[in-house]
Amino acid sequence: MTKTLQELSDRLEIQDLLVAYSYAIDFRQWDALDDVFTPDCVIDYTETGGPRGTLTETKDFLRKAMPMFAAFQHNIATSQVILDGDTATGRTICHNPMVLDDGSGLPHVWFYGLWYRDRFVRTDAGWRIADRYEEASWAHNLPPHFPYPAGVKRPDPA
């Protein structure tokens, strides 16, 4: 199916928005999220162990929670975006390796596989995420004291 120039532009802007989120998180630039989300957005991290809240509440959570991690990297791929005029919905894979200093002197590395389920809106400043839900898919090698996301079974020790 042939896409219009506007559809191509919209898709590229939304793709840039998803990348901007990943960079803001990975470089701990919490205020950069103001250019990713609408001021009245709802961000729901509950399925992966975080809160559900406003942009301000989410930035506060990230400022407090993320320093415990030595490193993390949000790798996004295969976004399915459905445009509908000035709104859109999307589902994007995220593969997220995370590193925690577990006190042993060696880093503990684990991996999350999740989906971002988003609702996008076109604003005067461009496309923004109005709602984000992190849907857990799988987890590998979580630290023993970390709860596994709902619906993701902790593997039995061998």
- Which of these CATH numbers, 3.40.630.30, 3.10.450.50, 3.40.190.10, 3.30.365.10, describes 5-140? 3.10.450.50
Q: Check whether 102 has a pLDDT greater than 90.
A: no
Q: Is 149 exposed, middle or buried (0-12, 13-18, 19+ CB in 10 A)?
A: buried
Mean pLDDT of the chain: 92
Q: Check whether 142 has a pLDDT greater than 80.
A: yes
Please name which of 130, 115, 138 lies closest in space to residue 45, comparing C-alpha atoms: 115
The ranges assigned to domains in the chain are: 5-140
Our measurement of the distance from residue 20's CA atom to the centroid of its chain's CA atoms, rounded to an integer in Å, reads 11
Q: Which residue has the tokens 């975006």?
A: 81
Q: pLDDT tens, 22-55?
A: 999 999 999 999 999 999 999 999 998 899 999 9
Distance CA 157, CA 75 (A): 28
**In contact, 58 and 33? CB cutoff 8 Å:** yes
Cα angle 81, 53, 74 (rounded to 5 degrees) comes to 50
CA terminus-to-terminus distance, the chain: 50
What's the half-sphere exposure (Cβ side, CA atoms, 13 Å) at 127?
27
Our measurement of the distance from residue 21's CA atom to the centroid of its chain's CA atoms, rounded to an integer in Å, reads 7
Query: Tokens in use for 54?
Result: 């406003």
Whole-model pTM: value is: 0.91
